[in-house]
Structure 1
Amino acid sequence: MLFILASCGGQKTEKVRLAEVTRSVFYTPLYIALSEGFFKEEGIEVDLKTTWGGDKTMTALLSNGVDIALIGSETSIYVNAQGASDPVINFAQLTQTDGTFLVSRDKTDEFSWDQLKNKTFLGQRKGGMPQMAGEFVLKQKGIDPKKDVNLIQTIDFANIPNSFASGTGDYVQLFEPQASIFEKEGIGRIVASFGKESGRIPYTTFMAKESYLKKNAETTEKFTRAIYKAQNWVESHSSKEAAASIQDYFKDTELSIIESSIERYKQQQSFALNPVLDEEEWNQLQAIMDEAGELPKQTSHQELVNTKIAEKVTKNH
């Protein structure tokens, strides 16, 4: 649903209900769009809520609890495979690599991937992008995630950090800033980046029901334009400036950790430079899903990705 609110000056502000799958520095361009007023410039008021996990986020979208979801593209493939009459369409890409880091409880300076063998690995949800990208990388490194490690996947997404902090697992996959927080607190040490190892994929995208995009074409274009402005802002400003801008979204995290986390993501080019989700990345996503045994069926780029909005926005900016 789209709500129209009349402002004091008579100008209409469009309200968009947005759900993010987690709260992470990985989504810096989104918070920049909010903090730097890019949504407001477009006449949009974004009501942002964190839904903590792919299943919960997609449920909120399908049940009309939100208008737009920021979530892994794989979820749209799962929904489509179930025969959705109103398919979920990816229309703007935010991140283009995996956003997780491998954190080791052992703080030795020398790391090699074979150290994971016969160890307990606190993994992510089965079928979720973090877990599939993680398994993809492990296999590239000669490790069978089903046989060579003791893989734990029974812990709810939001509780994984606390579980590791309380002593579960030798290794864990974490987003920033949580990974750096644990490193500073002496709980573990960042030893590898899954983003660097797994290559370019449409890891997190903005998506909405096809019916919403048709009914709210202008609003979706404005939303995408604000995101593109934020992507350009992140690219042209320092990590220190970005950290200061989004600090209110991480009030319990030290500014220096926010800054170093943003810099880490910038260095490995995790933030998409524009919102266009191209076909090559889409095919890589499905290759990773297929490798994990989680791809229900091959789905064409044209079927679940709308690039027209993002292409129009980038062409006219």
Structure 2
Amino acid sequence: MKKLKVIGIALLTLFLTVALSACGQQTTKLKVAEVTRSIFYAPQYVALEKGFFEDEGLEVELTTTWGGDKTMTTLLSDGADIALVGSETSIYVKAREANDPVINFAQLTQTDGTFLVAREEVTDFKWEDLKGSTFLGQRKGGMPQMVGEYVLKQNGIDPQQDLELIQNIDFANIPSAFASGTGDYVQLFEPTASIFEKEGVGHIIASFGEESGHVPYTVFMAKASMIDEDEEAIKKFTRAVYKAQKWVEEQPAEETAKLIQPYFEDTELDLITTVVDRYKSQGSFATDPILDEEEWNNLKAIMDEAGELPEDVPHADLVNTEIAEEIINE
């Protein structure tokens, strides 16, 4: 009887210990706004599907806000704690003399994600082939357009003089405009570029990402006040992102495609695999979250070339690398 009593007390103690431990594990909720839903952001979806955020005690609520302006507005109005968007938006906010600047703290993609698609099949493409053609470009002021024009200029083409540049079509309608016959060439994201190639609508002939080099194309950012007030949550978030980046780097493209397929239900697995492999092969997925100064300066050069750089903002003003460096060195 005495032995049973001792066992009972021991079990009760164990139960209370586990219960108190569970109560002590607080979950931090973070609202994340992504600029669009894209296979380009595969590591983010991997972090969600593999439970890397949960492992850090984070509950991440992901919302797609469809556009840089809307995403930044959502962040600035506290509709989101973290935004996944192009770094150029943080420079635009800084130029408006915001009291609470937006800080880039973890890079997700490090190249442009668009491709040059030709209506006709090209066997020996040269950039000078675009001269005299009709080019269906991206929205003025956005990173795709700025990178597109930068690459054209680097290859001796004046976008305003050497071709007919169309920029008055909404982002969502660019693919359908090309498919219906507008333009000889078009600048497209994946998976649309690969879908067009598969259907014979167009042919991928060049990568703007390969041509433009490393830039902080899509970055996780938060208001400076949020980082100051809850730096621990930002560290946990960055740690989860880094785990996902390493996972994507180490796994075959097909494994990543299988994992993120729920986010692209209308896209076939083999197509997702093709896109992941293409982005991975050209180094579009950042392998760590550090946004270095060289990438930042490349971004500013592209913006300046496009006439869209409102002011020269030093790397140290809008980029926090300390958090990412700490995570990597753990």
TM-score (norm 2): 0.90
Are 1:115 and 2:119 an aligned pair?
Answer: no
1:188-239 Cα offsets, whole Å, 9 max, x none, are 1111000110011111100111111111211111110000000000111000
Are 2:290 and 1:287 aligned?
no
- The structure with the larger Rg is 2
**By how many angstroms is 1:163 displaced?**
2.4
User: Hey, what's the Cα distance between the residues in 1 that align with 2:61 and 2:166?
Assistant: 34
* CA apart distance, 1:11: 3.2
- Measure, in 2, the Cα distance between the counterparts of 1:217 and 1:178: 38
Q: CA deviation at 1:116?
A: 1.5
Residue number among 103, 111, 117 corresponding to 1:97 in the alignment: 111
Q: Is the CA contact (8 Å cut-off) linking 1:52 and 1:157 kept in structure 2? A: no
List 4+ stretches of structure 1 deviating above 3 A.
8-11
Residue from 105, 117, 125 that aligns with 2:139: 125
Moved more, 242-251 or 115-124: 115-124
- In structure 1, distance between residues paired with 2:36 and 2:130: 26
Q: Percent identity?
A: 67
How much does 1:109 deviate?
3.0
- Which whole-Å deviations, capped at 9, do the CAs of 1:145-201 have from their partners, x for residues lacking one? 111121122222222222222322222111111111111122111110001100111
Q: Report 1:138-157 matches (<5 A).
A: 138-157=152-171
Distance in 2 between residues matched to 1:54 and 1:171, nearest whole Å: 24
1:158 paired to 2:159:
no
Q: How many residue pairs were aligned?
A: 309
Q: Which moved more, 1:62-71 or 1:102-111?
A: 102-111
Aligned residue for 1:189? 203
Give the structure 2 partner of residue 222 of structure 1.
236
Mark the CA change 1:238 to 1:165 in structure 2 (over 3 Å): closer, same or farther.
same
Quote how far apart the aligned CAs of 1:119 are.
Answer: 1.9
What corresponds to 2:274 in structure 1?
260
Structure 1 gap ranges (5+): 1-7
- In the alignment, the residues of structure 2 paired with residue 46 and residue 311 of structure 1 have an alpha-carbon distance, to the nearest angstrom, of 22
> Is structure 2 residue 104 aligned with structure 1 residue 78?
no
Question: Which is further off, 121-130 or 269-278?
Answer: 121-130
Tell me, yes or no, if the aligned pair for 1:53 and 1:157 is still in contact at 8 Å: no
Q: Does 1:248 align with 2:257?
A: no
- Paired residue for 2:221, among 196, 201, 207? 207
Instruction: Report 1:61-72 matches (<5 A).
Output: 61-72=75-86
Name the amino acid aligned to 2:41.
Y
SS of alignment partner, residue 153 of structure 2:
helix
The answer as to whether partners of 1:125 and 1:157 remain within 8 angstroms in 2 is yes
Name the structure with the higher helix share. Answer: 2
Instruction: Tell me the residue number matched to 2:13.
Output: none
What TM-score does the superposition give when structure 1 sets the normalisation length?
Answer: 0.94
Unaligned runs of 5+ in 2: 1-21
How large is the RMSD of aligned CA atoms in angstroms? 1.4
| CA deviation after TM superposition for structure 1 residue 9, in Å | 6.3
Question: In the superposition, relative to structure 1, how do residues 114 and 15 fare at CA in structure 2: closer, same or farther (>3 Å)?
Answer: same
Say whether residues 1:54 and 2:68 are aligned partners: yes
- Please show how residues 262-281 of structure 1 align to structure 2 within 5 Å: 262-281=276-295
Matched residue type, 1:119: S
Deviation at 1:21, TM superposition (A): 1.2
Kept after mapping to 2: 8 A contact 1:53/1:158: no
Asked if the contact 1:60/1:66 (under 8 Å) is kept, the reply is yes
- Deviation string for 1:97-152 (max 9, x for gaps)? 11111111122433221222222222112111111111111011111111112112
Measure the CA separation in 1 of the matches of 2:170 and 2:59. Answer: 31
2:118, 2:203 within 8 Å by CA — same for their partners in 1? yes
Q: Output the amino acid matched with 2:316.
A: Q
